[in-house]
Amino acid sequence: MSSENPIREIRINPVVPSESVLVATARGLRPREQEERIPHDGREHVETCPFCRGNENMTPPTILAQPSEQEWQVRIVQNLFPVLGTESDRNNISLGMQQVMDGYGRHEVIIDYHHHGIEIHEMSQQHLEMLLGVYRARMEELFNSDNRIRYVLVFKNFGAAAGASIKHTHSQLIAMPIIPENVYNEVACSQAYYAKHHQCVFCSLIDEALTYEATIYNRESGEVRRKIDVGQYVVERSERFIAIKPFASRYEWEVHIMPLVHNSNFMRATPEDLADFSGVLKRTMQRLDKVLGGAQYNYYFHTVPRCESLQDCDSSYHWHMEICPRTSIPSGFELGSGLFVTTISPEDAARQLREAL
């Protein structure tokens, strides 16, 4: 338990200023409606599971397998129930205010591991490196194969509350003809920031996080007005990557991982980048598991989209991965207002995660 004074403040998201969160740590606000934790399922093989190695005939054909088709450890197949498909060739429909765009795209399943019940934090760093390489390669392939594709979203749902319908560890990939709103907002806002400050907003956040302490002096007297410990949001740091607990995050235990050196595009990450990234991902997931044990979560990649109207996204945008544990159920207030409530302060959450390993 934290001994800090209760906080009650609205924090503005520094990347997308129209988004804000209410941080309210007063005791009376806890506990919120808690999301279920998932018991660990360590089974290696399940006879009836379509994603277990040996049951390949239960899924659509293999699109990609690593390291080999027979001895695969990561495998991509078409989603049996795709939300977007390639068949239809209809034009976009518009009926007054109701516009419909053709649901063109691809929806694939990435089976993360040949064993059934293993979780991300239990996989070897080597395996995670291969998995990240598969994400990257398939994203690039789909993005470059068709210029109608504006974005390829790679994401993972863990647990039913996070949207996973099959228990075997897996991720998904959706290639779509639109730029998703969250990405669009980040790209547009980071461009506006760049136009004003001539620096990428994510790089600015990293610089700030790596400055361990900031002191604000009184201009006239020179007295110390306030000391701010800005390094307190760093959860994990390596040679090339940083894991940060955002100061205004929607989810209590949300963590973002991003490259230290500016790069807008995940598809341009080098093998050396992925090797380093896999270590940060593993340790971050271990930390989350230590603190939250069995929490359901989503993670996804935000990278520069195919942007024609958005000039020069490359200098202003910065790719990253967002990990969002689902520990409490959003209330009507949150869904209705879009103002997410956090009952644990991000500073406290970051400290707990830092101290977990």
Nearer to Zn ion, 173 or 203 (CB): 203
The single residue among 53, 116, 150, 170 that binds Zn ion, judged by CB under 5 A, is 116
Q: Does 53 bind Zn ion (CB under 5 A)?
A: no
Nearer to Zn ion, 50 or 82 (CB): 50
**Which range touches Zn ion (CB under 5 A), out of 19-27, 50-58, 91-99, 288-296?**
50-58
Nearer to Zn ion, 202 or 266 (CB): 202
The single residue among 155, 202, 266, 300 that binds Zn ion, judged by CB under 5 A, is 202
The single residue among 65, 200, 205, 209 that binds Zn ion, judged by CB under 5 A, is 200
Between strands 234-237 and 241-244, the pairing is antiparallel
Residue (of 341, 278, 344, 333) closest to 125 by Cα position: 278
CB of 219 to Zn ion, least distance (A): 31
Nearer to Zn ion, 49 or 310 (CB): 49
Q: Does 136 bind Zn ion (CB under 5 A)?
A: no
CB of 237 to Zn ion, least distance (A): 16
Cα torsion angle, 237, 238, 242, 243, sign: negative
Nearer to Zn ion, 130 or 258 (CB): 258
Nearer to Zn ion, 25 or 73 (CB): 73
Q: Which residues between 271 and 330 bind Zn ion (CB under 5 A)?
A: 302, 318
CB of 102 to Zn ion, least distance (A): 27
The single residue among 121, 262, 306, 351 that binds Zn ion, judged by CB under 5 A, is 262
Nearer to Zn ion, 254 or 348 (CB): 254
Q: Does 260 bind Zn ion (CB under 5 A)?
A: no
Nearer to Zn ion, 7 or 186 (CB): 186
Q: Are 139 and 63 spatial neighbours (Cβ–Cβ below 8 Å)?
A: no
The single residue among 53, 114, 156, 168 that binds Zn ion, judged by CB under 5 A, is 168
Altogether, the residues listed in the chain come to a count of 357
CB of 166 to Zn ion, least distance (A): 8
Contacts of 250 (CB under 8 A, 6+ apart): 19, 21, 324, 340, 342
Q: Does 106 bind Zn ion (CB under 5 A)?
A: no
**Which range touches Zn ion (CB under 5 A), out of 64-72, 194-202, 216-224, 333-341?**
194-202
Q: Does 51 bind Zn ion (CB under 5 A)?
A: yes
Q: Does 52 bind Zn ion (CB under 5 A)?
A: yes
Q: Does 245 bind Zn ion (CB under 5 A)?
A: no
Q: How far apart are CA 1 and CA 102, in angstroms?
A: 51
Nearer to Zn ion, 15 or 134 (CB): 15
The single residue among 22, 152, 203, 234 that binds Zn ion, judged by CB under 5 A, is 203
Q: How many residues bind Zn ion (CB under 5 A)?
A: 12
Q: Which residues bind to Zn ion, rule: CB under 5 A?
A: 46, 49, 51-52, 116, 168, 200, 202-203, 262, 302, 318
